[in-house]
A and B are shown apart, each in its own frame.
Chain A
Amino acid sequence: MSSESLIEQSQNIDLLRFATAGSVDDGKSTLIGRLLYDSKSIFEDQLNTIKTFSRTHRNQEIDYSLVTDGLKSEREQGITIDVAYRFFSTPKRRFIIADTPGHEQYTRNMATGASNASLALILIDARNGVVTQTKRHSFISSLLGIRNFVIAVNKMDLVDYSQEVFENIVNEFNAFADKLADESVYYIPISALEGDNVIERSENMPWYKGSTLLDYLENVNVSGGRNMNDLRFPVQYVNWGGGDDFRGYCGTIASGVVHKGDKIRVLPSGKTSKVSRIVTYDGDLDYAFAPMAVTLCLEDDIDISRGDMIAKADDIPAIAGSFEANIVWMDNTPMEIGKDYLIKHTTSVVKGNFEEVIHEFDPDDISMKSSQSLGLNSIGKAKVELKSPVFADLYSENRATGSFIVIDPHTNQTAAAGMVTKYKQVSPDKGCKSVKVRVISYPADKKEEAMAKYDRLSMHGTHCIYVDDDLLKETLRKGKSVDSDEYSEMIENLCKIVTRSGVSVVVCSDNFKS
């Protein structure tokens, strides 16, 4: 093949992101090390470092697990403590592996790895069978919406490559998987250490007729995951200013498809317009789809700021004022009922609190138990009250608009991940009123700062006007005094009128009292 067609091919191959999970010591790092090594994704100098360390610290020729255990503290302890991202490619596909830790205390990292994956590779030690960690990780992966599972039954070399052992594990896991959502599960007996059924078909297990692991990963169809039906375009950044009249709304299409000329509706205002342009650096497009990052221009000049949602006029998300959601708690500090947290959902951040925990899951058998609160690494369903509404769909229908993170405003920690299972709508006009309107005042001698503030607010898409004494002298107060109680009252009234229309005011005057 010529180098040009090789380059062409490398451009067009697709990308599969998968997460790996399993419990401590079931050989996950070794398996990934093997995949990287056999697909020639480890470079010679990296390999030399690993070989030297293997010989001096592990007393073996090469310890594949060292490929992924990157941090010094991990190499010393011999365990993986954080998600590591690994890359390899074959002529068919490019892969990103989120290699997640096995220890229970790092469940949150498992959720992190699974949130962007479309397939979960779960390892089971053939000697131990299905254990609590297997169930916990499968449950989290399923909860996060992964529908493709590969169960690699590892260390088959240590159970004499026994078909019976393999089949018992298949039956055991199948019984558990019945309780999860609709998954496709594929089972492969392997030995990561010896290389059986990883890339090369094993001669030790002639009874196994299925695919090898790499073969399966290269060919599995993982079309599911992204919703291509409902257009959701969370406005991320309003691009305007700088002297021309261009005004575009930048964002990543969260789901669905948008065409030039589509009739759209903007939330929370509920106003409709048409898409006049789909702008990209490479030229305007006739249509764009998730997950492309584009800039939309509309035919009508309507008020739109960051956090607003653009959808098709006749297919909008819920304007949710509260919801029920599956929550993975990730902070050392447990959930506090009634406390104000920050909820980041698409491009908007709102205040919200937990009203109650409906139930907590026992990942062992996915049974539910009652609970007052959720602590580190626990998973449950809870009711969330929002101070201002968000534009949401159910997580099962739309990952991008059904997911949120919870931030503790005191520590700034990401305390939890949430997936919407049910919502309560608020009426659209309540949605509109939630737009925060402010009057920001500066003393008269801080004119430069005031104007900078106005510029920044406008750049971020906040609708506001700027007023100072000089401007008023030229217009409303032409020929009148600007140093009286009556003048102060006039400014106050001006602010009242403007804010009532949903527009903020930056005032730079010593005569503005409140």
Chain B
Amino acid sequence: MKTTEESYHLSNLKTLEAESIGIIREVAAEFENPVMLYSVGKDSSVMTHLAIKAFYPKKVPFPLLHIDTGYKFPEMYEFRDEYTKKNGLDLRVLRNEEALKRGVNPLSVGTVKCCADLKTKALLDSLKEGGYDAAFGGARRDEEKSRAKERIYSFRDKHGQWNPKNQKPELWNLFNSKIDQGESIRVFPLSNWTELDIWTYIYHENIDIVPLYFAKERPVIEKNGQLIPVYTDEYEDEVKDVMCRFRTLGCHYCTGAVRSEADTLEKIIEEMMVARHSERITRVIDHDQDSSMEQKKREGYF
């Protein structure tokens, strides 16, 4: 039956795609109540695209959960609602309303406390409330040093916390999904992707992303070497228009833009190939303290 034209070679991107789809299906099969964390960014676009592929022609059999700090870019909210509707995804949005009522923001309480309240606490509370026993996240091992050692199935205790010294060995593609009541796992189907893989995949698959990733003249202020976009009238610094784009998307207070002319996917990928700064440099929160991401992860942050 084999014809001579058949080739059994799978490219890097197709290999990564197959691996991720396998992980997503395995979780859907083995857990009672999975949920996919959706942050609206490019990695979330790729992760949801993979979930859609995994269950095609049926719908994705689990909901998406957006932990909304209330301070995301307006473009992100608009994209989120359109993207999830267009793809028939079941989106749930949760905020720490109590903290927002108290007026928590990075200018009033600092970035560490702000993240703890609006992200980590909101996440842990909503995972607990929803009774989710598995939560997908879009983190990649190439992103940050403590993530390089994260397993694909990352075990969390009853308090949602991570213990890097007590990680289960993970062999072949055989994942241990046994947990006790109240415990949960975080699952990272994009573990083995790099930032460049994400971009080339978006290009080849024609995946929708938030327009903020493309370069455009935007009003910003310069603060500690970072270009912070202006979406509030609280800043006293001088506002100027700069041709720039965002490499990652978080809250508008804490996400810096980079100077860039890349207004198409091709140009972004070209820029990536010569990039000399990792994408997380534009995240103000990573520089809070030495090993700040490891600390946040131990406490339950994604």
Contact = CB atoms under 8 A, between A and B. Distances in A.
Given A344-B174, A344-B176, A239 B149 contact: no
B58 A239 contact: yes
Nearest to B168: A414
A43 B12 contact: no
A84 B148 contact: yes
Contacts of A3: 266-267, 269-270
A240 B178 CA distance: 26
Interface string B199-226: 0100110000000000000000000000
Contact of B57 (A279, A287, A292, A403): A279
B1 interface: yes
Contacts, number: 194
Nearest to A75: B291
Interface stretch (B14-22, B115-123, B127-135): B14-22
A342 interface: yes
B239 interface: no
A71 B178 contact: no
Most chain B beta-carbon neighbours within 10 Å: one of A11, A44, A456: A11
A126 interface: no
Interface string B10-46: 1111111111011001101100100000000000000
Interface in A336-357: 342, 344-345, 347
A239 B12 contact: no
B275 A237 contact: no
A291 B18 contact: yes
Contacts of A46: 145, 278
A459 interface: yes
B9 interface: yes
A433 B52 CA distance: 36
Interface string A281-299: 1100001010111010000
B12 A14 contact: yes
A134 interface: no
A403 B141 contact: no
B165 A81 contact: yes
Interface string B139-162: 001100111110000000000000
B12 A242 contact: no
A198 to B, nearest CB: 21
Interface stretch (B73-81, B89-97, B188-196): B188-196
A250 B148 CA distance: 30
Nearest to B201: A11
Interface string A38-82: 000001111000000000000000000000101111000000011
B8 interface: yes
Contacts of A43: 275-278, 281
Given A291-B18, A414-B168, A250 B13 contact: no
B8 A4 contact: no
B2 interface: yes
A59 to B, nearest CB: 18
Contacts of A405: 171-172, 174, 176
A306 B29 contact: yes
Given A7-B269, A14-B9, A82-B149, A252 B56 contact: no
When A and B form their complex, which 10 residue pairs have the shortest distance between CB atoms, in order from nearest?
A: A70-B145, A43-B278, A293-B21, A281-B53, A115-B171, A281-B56, A412-B178, A3-B270, A72-B291, A252-B22
Interface of A: 3-4, 6-7, 10-15, 43-46, 68, 70-73, 81-87, 89, 94, 96, 108-109, 111-112, 115-116, 228, 236-237, 239-242, 246, 248, 250-252, 257, 259, 261-262, 279-282, 287, 289, 291-293, 295, 306, 330, 342, 344-345, 347, 399-400, 403-405, 407, 409, 412-414, 417, 456, 459-460
11 contacts: A4-B266, A7-B203, A7-B269, A10-B273, A14-B11, A70-B147, A71-B149, A87-B141, A111-B169, A292-B18, A399-B172
Interface of B: 1-2, 6, 8-19, 21-22, 25-26, 28-29, 32, 52-59, 61, 141-142, 145-149, 164-165, 167-176, 178-180, 191-192, 194, 196, 200, 203-204, 266-267, 269-270, 273, 275-278, 281, 290-291, 294
Given A11-B204, A70-B146, 4 more contacts: A3-B269, A291-B22, A293-B21, A293-B22
